[in-house]
Structure 1
Amino acid sequence: MEANRQITLPEPAERTRPPWRRRPTSSAVADELDLDSEGRPGRRRRTARDWAVDFGCFFVAVLLGLTFSQEVWDEPDLPRALALLDQAVGALACAGVWLRRRWPLGYAVAMIPAGFLSDTAAGAVMISIFTVAVHRPFRDAAWVTGVSAALLPFFFWWRPEADTSYGVSVAFTAVIMITVVGWGMFVRSRRQLLLSLRERATRAETEAELRAEQAQRLAREAIAREMHDVLAHRLTLLSVHAGALEFRPDAPRAEIARAAGVIRESAHEALQDLREIIGVLRAGDQGDEPGRPQPTLAALDGLVAESREAGMKVELDHRVGEPATVPASVGRTAYRIAQEGLTNARKHAPGAEVTVTVDGAPGDGLTVAVTNPPPPGPVPHVPGSGQGLIGLTERATLAGGRLDHGPGPDGGFAVRAWLPWPG
């Protein structure tokens, strides 16, 4: 049944919302995750935060480059042409910092030979390693850092430090590289955590929307079923007696007056029932309780009496000694089953004697049966869609019971239901 279907959520959660309904990503989250305003990876333009971070990286690279450039220029054994080449490569490496967001891996690969040839490019090399660790998977950062670290012994053998031993220089630079990579991986993991939390929040929001839509749909179905059960009984009386007046305009005045009274009373009761349903809807919106309680099994005698006053032949076999002991939900369902059975008998078997049987005990369940023989005469055409029996089947199933209906061997019709009655 529709009410028992499980909600299946699409993957990923972001796809459940059409592109024109996706909420824009906040600027703080977009900056942290390096996303655009729609939540997609990458940005076409730098934000103020991007400019600040890139300028800071450029400043660090230039500051370290100037420091090492002076040391290179002061080396007495280094040819001037090589010193100029060192500074030129370092200047290009610092300028390339502005391209690190667009091509993080390419920039890091380009910095491997630049770092081997130039002391001035040391700051830019560290920035490139940090960038690739933040923006690329671990394997890319690992092999870039590994190649750079493998070239360190050759670099310091070729251009040894004057004031530091060979081993200390290699070890100290390797530790700095590892530290920079670890820092970059921490930033990347934090961004991935924020992205995961954002996706989970989006998924939770989508699930809440789907559950709200399902609850609204089920509420509409319940309201429609309740309106059918309540109003069909009254409106059938109107239809039958109006049809009788139409086909028998020469009926005795007493019968015409009685039919008119039934029509008036049924219209009044239908209006009252409709007001009750609307009142329940308004009370649900305002958080209040409905004005009048729903009918239970104790109201079955009144339903049969009303049908008899309308001209039906109804026999009630009520075998439940204390109807008030029946649970309210079970009694309400039994009442609706009997009401719908009487309504259908009045429409499709006018003049036939209808038998309503109610039996049961706590622990054994409650049995409701509405049976009628074939109609004794012609049956006037009364419109009907069969939705009442479908609604009764759903109602009984939701209550944990079952309902069967169909024609009998004698040409009549029977509606039988069993409902659980806890002991």
Structure 2
Amino acid sequence: MPFHDEPNAPNEPAGSDGPADLGERRAALDAAIGRQALWPDRSPWIREAVRDVPRHAFAPERLWWWDGHAYVPVDRGSEARRWAEQVYAGPGDPAVTQVIDGQATSSLSCAAVVVDMLDSLKSEPGQRVLELGTGSGWNAALLARRSGPGLVTSVETDPGLAAQARTRLDAIGVGVTVEIGDGDAGWPAGGPYDRVICTYAVDAIPWAWVEQTRPGGRIVAPWGRLGHVALTVAEDGASATGWVQGLATFMPSRGTSPPPAWQQVRGTGPPPEAERLTVRDPGLGPLRTDPHLLFALRVALPDVHLTLSETNDGDGSDGDTPAVRLHDTARTSWATLHPSPDGDATAVARQFGPRRLADEALAAWDEWTAEGAPELYDFGMTVTPHDQYVWARHPATGPWPPPRRG
């Protein structure tokens, strides 16, 4: 189920470089999406559009490959085969198209996520669509194949990316208007829109998007860098409500400061005088791998970042055991959780700073369990001009987590 819009591990192509058979690679990606049952039955137009609008036509001559330590360039002119493998790597693999200061800042999103979000949008021919985050332009081209010429407006904050995307879109004649601006502000001049789709992660849905969408219109956007939501604007235009649709990791909007790395927080934290304690825990596996639990923790602890480590790197673990790391955005507290070296059903926690982040995470886990362990797709979001919150199972339940019992 989870797809990632950032590479997590090296995936170096095998063999020597040579001419790229793009037709074969396109067919292989199409078949792989089919084998994983990711082509949506209710939206057959998406598969047709992906077949008609080649992904490689929107890839720049230089892509970037993550080698496990840093991004390294892959140039089409000298490494045609490797370049093609990056473009058509697999359903869950993006092709990084821009790197700034060592950080990936734009990509051809993985095909599975693009397909899933277009399906969630439920667009119809003749509808006016606003896309926020043009990037390479491929997603805008797919949208235009559904809506028709002249009905898709795409906003990109990077003038260079906007110019490149405009050139590619004009070359295939799909009639997309590319504007330069702040995606969070939408593009009121072209509204109102029937559909709004965002291609970068936001921590809050801008009210401007709701204002620029017709009553009954639909907004699809990545939320919290972890999943995407599909919201329907109320008939009175005073709110938008909808369900979480999928799990994925997205790049944040340009200009957004990345969250501090765990090492940064640890390095600025207090000296290692904090307690070392054993806590009740049924095992760390779910905390590391269960997408439903991870999403619930993201909702309950929005300012806490959870990362994973496979080895002991001096953070206080006993042996080379998988660890869960937590730190807060304020850079005041950090914690680690490790399986007990005795192999029993406990975990060892080390906690530093004014907050006890391991305790908070385990308490949120207990709350999720007590509420029946709602799945990712049991969560939804409500947005109003002055507030927005995530709920579970029904909007009337109010913000998650629910009030503590007793």
Query: Shorter-chain TM-score category?
Result: under 0.3
Answer 1 or 2: which has greater helix percent.
Answer: 1
Answer 1 or 2: which has greater strand percent.
Answer: 2
Q: Which has the larger radius of gyration?
A: 1
Q: TM-score, normalised by structure 2?
A: 0.23
Q: Identify the structure with bigger relative contact order (alpha carbons < 8 Å, sequence gap 6+).
A: 2
Q: TM-score, normalised by structure 1?
A: 0.22
